[in-house]
Structure 1
Amino acid sequence: MALRGVIFDMGGTLLHFTPEGQSWEQSEKLGTGAVYQYLRTLEYTLPPEQEALDAAWQVTRDTWAGIEHADVKSLKLDTVLSVIAQGWGAEDLPGDVYQDMAAAYMGAIQPYVRPLDGVYEMLRALRDDGLRLGLISNTFWPGSVHLQDLERFDLTPYFERLIFSSDAEAWKPNSGVFLQALDTLDLAPGEAAYVGDSLYFDVWGAQQAGLRSVWIEQPDPWLPEGIEVTPDATIRTLPELPAIARDWATVPDVPQSEKRG
């Protein structure tokens, strides 16, 4: 089927959420470090800071690794931070403290959010080619906060549908969240491509739902043990995408997921 629409991941695909030159781990520790300092101001007794941040990072990694089988109602920032705080020995916190913890965490990271190179050029080209555009983001953060980031960089006008997993309680790589976006955009799976930086959540997830996949190549890709995947296309920079989309829009192709039968 000819391509009629493109759906995007957000973090690492359209927007950076890590300070320049730093890793995901360092970014997470920036956020949890702000939570740690906030709890210290409330005079909670906590482990030494580096020990606490290392433990928080392990909670974050374990949570992401188990997303496919997790209770989706628990995959929200205040819930994850409550698990981290309990691990630090801060239990039975008042409700407003959880809200303030989340605000501290996001407030430490948001100043570093910035668009990837070439994002505007790429989105304008796809829109000018008449393709329908959507976004699906796996995120613990409230969608309203991410919407602020997208609006700050004038990105929202490009998209007809924005899905944030914490609000929708539907997460990649499960097919349901891809089908939600397709339904809104009036697209069949074979008429859409999904673009992202994760081989597992984005490429494998999209292909399981019948979409083409475009992987933004990463130096250290991660896949769960036992899963193998081949993207339908691989790019290094966003401006490479429109040419691939034009090929798929004019010459019907069969996605890798269908080829495997």
Structure 2
Amino acid sequence: MAVRAVIFDWGGTLTPWHPVDHESLWRSVCEPHFPPGQVAEVATAIRTAEQDLWQVTGRSHQSATLAQVFERAGVSATEEFLASYFQAWDPHTYTDPDAVPLMQGLRERGIKVGVLSNTMWPRSAHERVFLRDEVMDLIDGAVYSSEIPWAKPHHEAFRAAMAAVGVDDPAACVFVGDRPYDDVHGAKGAGMRAVLIPNDDVPAFGGAAPDAVITSLAELTDHIDAW
């Protein structure tokens, strides 16, 4: 069946994967907003809450939000604090340079472009990144798990992404991601083709085989054309 939509994961896929020191990042965020003697304690509380909620998501496939992180950590996050947080993440969010020509090529072929991300961030934070990197106008629909009850690999997350791009047949959709369990297993379970961009920091999962493996986004078009 011809491909009608390609849906991308965000972190590690549209944004190239690289390690992030989350503990140091949270300390840098907290430093301007808390007394020096409280910075380490608050940063640790936030990071622990964040990890706990990601573990819940991993077990139950239920989504979580930044607001839940701060509530769990007992921290009141002001607008200024949130601005510092997203500013600290800026260097880690730049879109892969191959994404723009890839998305343009897909749309020239009449193929819808979507995004499905497991994220605690609000839509506005992701859209700010896409606007900054001039890819916002190339995305036909996006779903962020922070806005729905479920996260990948739950099939409802993939169905929501299909609805966002206006395609109702999963066999006509391709999902591209870097996580064998969340992305490949999840997409295959939802009836889609799955393309893996592997990296060594993501746990392996042998329960579902990708339809293709690529090392860069630039390699994707050849597979799409072959399908």
Into which bin does the TM-score normalised by the smaller protein fall? Answer: 0.7 to 0.9
Bigger drift between 7-16 and 107-116 goes to 107-116
Q: Which residue of structure 2 lines up, in the alignment, with residue 6 of structure 1?
A: 6
Match of 2:83, SS? helix
**Residue 193 of structure 2 aligns to which amino acid in structure 1?**
R
1:114 to 90, 94, 114: 94
Please name the residue that 1:78 is paired with.
67
Contact 2:5/2:167 (CA < 8 Å) preserved in 1? Answer: no
**Number of equivalent positions:** 225
Identical counterparts, % of pairs: 28
TM-score, length-scaled by structure 1: 0.76
Which amino acid in structure 2 is aligned with residue 37 of structure 1? E
Displacement of 1:57: 4.3
Q: Residue 239 of structure 1 corresponds to which residue in structure 2?
A: 218
Given candidates 126, 142, 146, the residue that maps to 2:122 is 142
Q: Are the equivalent residues in 2 in contact too, given 1:5–1:187 (CA < 8 A)? A: no
* Aligned residue in 2 for 1:40: 34
Counterpart in the other structure of 2:167: 186
| CA shift for structure 1 position 205 | 0.9
In structure 2, the gaps of 5 or more residues are none
**Shift of residue 163 of structure 1?**
1.1
* CA deviation profile, 1:208-257 (whole Å, cap 9, x unmatched): 11111001111233157xx6221111000011000000111xxxxxxxxx
Matched-pair contact (CA < 8 Å) for 1:31–1:106: no
Secondary structure in 1 matching 2:38: coil
SS in 1 for 2:72: helix
Q: Which residue of 1 aligns with 2:19?
A: 23
Name the residue aligned to 2:136: 156
For 2:190 and 2:182, locate their aligned partners in 1 and report how far apart those are by CA, in whole Å. 12
> Between Structure 1 and Structure 2, whose CA radius of gyration is higher?
1
Distance 1:220 1:112, change over 3 A: closer
TM-score, length-normalised on structure 2? 0.86
Aligned-CA RMSD value:
2.6
- Using the alignment, how far apart are the partners of 1:65 and 1:223 within structure 2? 17
1:65 paired residue among 45, 55, 58: 55
1:65-111 superposed Cα distances (whole Å, 9 cap, x missing partner): 33151653xx1112213334x4xxx6xx4xxx354443332221124
Q: State the alpha-carbon separation in 2 of the partners of residues 235 and 71 from structure 1.
A: 29
